[in-house]
């Protein structure tokens, strides 16, 4: 059974500090294992606009109707310094994997450069780190 494009929900009795009460979106699942992003654990005091500032990315031209004060998620305990962006198509960025017809994961800077502009994908979730097993 392939669980890609499904959610894994932590059992109530799970006490692991990272995965307790976690909802993990499965980005890849095959015979080599699985990879997912925790989608319900916001990092304290870190918003998308903060990530853009750290990376010296200035949205141009800025679309003020697009909110950049959304929280960045703790995607998982692995590679916590790497960004993983789940978003709606298009998937024409340098490093994108199409997960489903409506969901793409991108790890390249070019997707971040669209945030806050009219080129931004309509739905975006930014996470640092991932889970794999």
Q: How far is CA 83 from the centre of its chain?
A: 7
Rounded Cα distance, 2 and 15, in Å: 26
Question: Which domains, from first to last, does the chain contain?
Answer: 7-132 (3.40.1740.10)
pLDDT tens digits along 14-72? 999 999 999 999 999 999 999 999 999 999 999 999 999 999 999 999 999 999 999 99
Helices (H), the chain: 48-54, 109-112
Rounded Cα distance, 66 and 87, in Å: 14
Stated pTM of the model: 0.93
pLDDT tens digits along 89-126? 987 899 999 999 999 999 999 999 999 999 999 999 99
Determine contact, residues 11/109, Cβ cutoff 8 Å.
no
């Amino acid at each position: 059974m392939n669980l890609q494009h499904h959610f894994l929900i932590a059992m109530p009795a799970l006490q692991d500090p990272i995965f307790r009460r976690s909802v993990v979106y499965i980005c890849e699942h095959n015979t080599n294992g699985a990879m997912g992003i925790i989608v319900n654990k916001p990092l304290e005091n870190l918003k998308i606009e903060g990530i853009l500032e750290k990376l010296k990315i200035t949205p141009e031209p800025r679309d003020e109707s697009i909110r950049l004060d959304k929280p960045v998620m703790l995607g998982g305990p692995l590679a916590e310094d790497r960004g993983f962006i789940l978003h709606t198509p298009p998937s024409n960025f340098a490093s994108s994997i199409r997960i489903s017809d409506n969901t793409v994961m991108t790890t390249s800077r070019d997707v971040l450069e669209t945030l806050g502009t009219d080129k931004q994908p309509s739905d975006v979730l930014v996470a640092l780190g991932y889970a794999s097993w």
